[in-house]
Amino acid sequence: MEVMSGKNNSCCLNNGDVVEKMKSLGRLTCRKIWKVGKEDKRRVIHSLKVGISLSLVSLLYLMEPLFKGIGENAIWAVMTVVVVLEFTTGATLYKGLNRGLGTLLAGLLAFLIELIANESRHIFHAAFIGTAVFLVGAVTTYMRFFSHIKKNYDYGVVIFLLTFNLITVSSYRVDSVLKIAHERFYTITIGCGICLLMSLFIFPIWSGEDLHLSTVAKFDGLAKSIEACINEYFSNDNINQQEEKVRKNSMEMEDPIYKGYKAVLDSKSSDETLALYASWEPRYLRNCSWQQYVKLGTVLRHFGYTIVALHGCLQTEIKTPQSVRVLFKDPCNRLAREVTKTLKELSDSIRNRRKYCPEIPSTHVHEALQDLIDALKSQPRLFLSTNSNTNILLALATLPTRQKSGKDVLVSLPSVNNDDPARLGLSHDLMLKEGDKKILRPTLSKNGITSLEFLEALPFAAFASLLVEIVARLDLVVEQVVELGRVAKFKEYSHDDVVINVSCDNNPRVESEFPSSQAAAD
């Protein structure tokens, strides 16, 4: 009896676990559904539009008069809605017009082939159809390799080839195939028409607007990444080794620095697709700047690669002491603030579709850069290696703010761990530890001290060089934004427009955004 009761209790517990799992699964599913809709409310609107469109084309089957006029080929209208109706208007126009045009051309060509084949005998009829199918299939497939056709009309070419073969080959055995082709063309036209009406006139979602807003978000994300990098690098918090390992092993998606530049690095495919769809939208027919958005995205990705390297400086094995970092904290902070401020101004310029004038921000950025170089020059002993006579500071100070051409010079340095005294020519008995700080005995040679300082300052030299590289690539980004404003015909700022900029020393300065335009107006 006790054994039986034990079995019953275990069964009850198992059933209870299953019920709890089912409840938790239901809650998780509801939360996921709510999260997907909350992230972008347009997804809900698009889902409703697809449902309404399918209901409308189903009337061709459900209503007796429409079914008698269209016939069983009404199912092609349903298939067209499922295939053609996309999330954005540009994508729907791209697929709808390609499908309609491909079907029309294939039907006309198949009708011409049928007329010619009917004039020949039965044997020549089959040979003529086979030859026509071979030639059209080979030529059409070869045309798909042309870059312009593949980019803009590949879907239409596929539909053309499919429809032509279905009609032409079927006409040899079925007498009424041309009638069937006419009915299918009508139903496909009805399906495409419903899709276009729903996309153009009922809560339209424009690909061009998505591309525009995604470009604005890239600038904001890069600015946040740079700001977070600087704040974390000069943070006064002492993180022990265990906490640091946990941070390194944590998911990258939780890192705010990674979040900022991730969307930029992964944007190549989406930018090209949105630019293609935007070129089909009637709202933006006069706007031929979509390829300029793609070029700007490419420059931003190259800019983002530098931020990735800057992020890597936070996770190096060799750590520059906080006492060394604090020497350059203010100039680095100022340079980072000027860069992030310029990125935000670029973002606002694109968001408001206003032309950007780079003179004022460029002046402040290069002033901050010069301050950093002067601070580095004031501490030459930290960056001087007695072994190789290599002055890293000199390389930083002579870096151009812009690189027009020329080869990049890479200096390879040996991998060094400053935790190992033997690599510095030191013995363990000369090294003492007091808390987390390393203290050298006074008997240590002068060469050992200089080498140690050089090795500990080396990571900061890399960090500072990346900040200089960011400034150089920022100039390229500004050039592309100015070109975008010209190509897209963004509106000019009037001379009454005044922008309040807050400098790094917290002294507000009021400046005209476009002094050149103001002078011209005067």
Q: pLDDT band at 501, cuts 50/70/90?
A: very low
Distance CA 344, CA 224 (A): 10
Among 79, 362, 304, CA closest to 194: 79
With vertex at residue 127, the alpha carbon angle to CA 121 and CA 133, rounded to the nearest 5 degrees, is 130
Among 434, 430, 481, CA closest to 452: 430
User: Model pTM greater than 0.75?
Assistant: no
CA 351 from chain center: how many Å?
A: 17
Under DSSP, the state recorded for 313 is: G
Distance CA 307, CA 319 (A): 19
Residue 238 has φ and ψ, to the nearest 5°, of -95, 115
CA distances, 105 to each of 101, 109, 156, 167, 185 (Å): 6, 6, 10, 12, 11
Q: Which residue has the tokens 């000027």?
A: 338
Distance CA 39, CA 510 (A): 38
Distance CA 466, CA 399 (A): 11
Q: Residues 292-317: pLDDT tens digits?
A: 999 999 999 999 999 999 888 888 77
- pLDDT, residue 287, reads 63
Q: Residues 368-423: pLDDT tens digits?
A: 888 888 888 877 666 654 444 344 444 444 444 444 443 443 333 333 334 444 44
Q: What is the sign, positive or negative, of the torsion defined by CA atoms of 52, 53, 59, 65?
A: positive
Q: Which of 27-36, 401-410, 447-456 has the lowest mean pLDDT?
A: 401-410
Among 474, 302, 249, 467, CA closest to 373: 467
